[in-house]
Amino acid sequence: MTKACKLAAGNWKMNGLRADLDEAHALVSGLGQVSCGVLLCPPATLISAMAEAVAGSAVMVGGQDCAARVSGAHTGDISAQMLADSGARYVILGHSERRADHGESSALVAQKARAAHQAGLVAIICLGETEAERDGGQTLAVVLEQLAGSVPEGATSANTVIAYEPVWAIGTGRTPTLAQIAEVHDALRANLPDAAISLLYGGSVKPANAAEIFAIDNVDGALVGGASLKASDFSAIIAALDVT
């Protein structure tokens, strides 16, 4: 069986002005030889400048969302092709903040992933249960339903990454137990359309807990929010992944 590629992905969310590109410069200059993928997803306004800032290094750049449609009269939307044209190679889709703030359904996420694939981008498709769903014993049912609904036909390890992000662990400093992460990742692996698709864990990953999370079977990396904003924290997470 082909082994999934390891990936440390940073999600800057709605944070970052041009001055913060200093963190991308610092990340690049502190990064030695790495065998895992390293990705930063800044707000769309910084994609092109960040792509220039990290050019020639191992750091790749991605977007945080794209339109499902290809082009046209859709004010404010950004197409997958525009992201690719700005220097992005990946795009995060179906993040729980978009599912909650913008009412994005799994069907819409699947359409966006199709658009990303057509533009040559790798789609990082996010899934995760709310705290009420976990307390109600529905975690596996919820994430497997999101997986089935959000991953389009034609998804392979070359064009798709899945990120398991429990909603209650995002930005809270709380994480599931290692056994809880393992249970979900095992279930996801068994249900992937291509077993070599990388499975990231996301939700309060930081330098202090990265190594133990990366040691879990079927965890191929992380999608990191807050701790990706500072090069020092993100570098420590990358180093923890690179030795696993």
Catalytic residue numbers, as ranges: 95, 165
Residue 1 C-beta: closest distance to ligand PGA, Å = 28
CA 76, 82, 86, 87 dihedral sign is: positive
Q: Give the strand pairing for 37-41 and 160-164.
A: unpaired
Residue 38 C-beta: closest distance to ligand PGA, Å = 15
| CA distances (Å), origin 172, targets 18, 165, 176, 203 | 27, 12, 11, 8
Nearer to ligand PGA, 66 or 223 (CB): 223
Nearer to ligand PGA, 147 or 170 (CB): 170
Residue 33 C-beta: closest distance to ligand PGA, Å = 26
Nearer to ligand PGA, 61 or 81 (CB): 61
Nearer to ligand PGA, 160 or 204 (CB): 204
When CB distances to ligand PGA are compared, the closest residue is: 225
* Token pair for 219: 């965890």
Give the binding site for ligand PGA (CB under 6 A): 11, 165, 170-171, 202-205, 223-227
The residue assigned the tokens 């390891």 is: 6
Phi and psi, residue 8, nearest 5°: -105, 110
Residue 165 C-beta: closest distance to ligand PGA, Å = 6
Distance separating the N- and C-terminal Cα atoms of the chain: 18
If we measure between CA atoms, which residue out of 134, 133, 189 comes closest to residue 162? 189
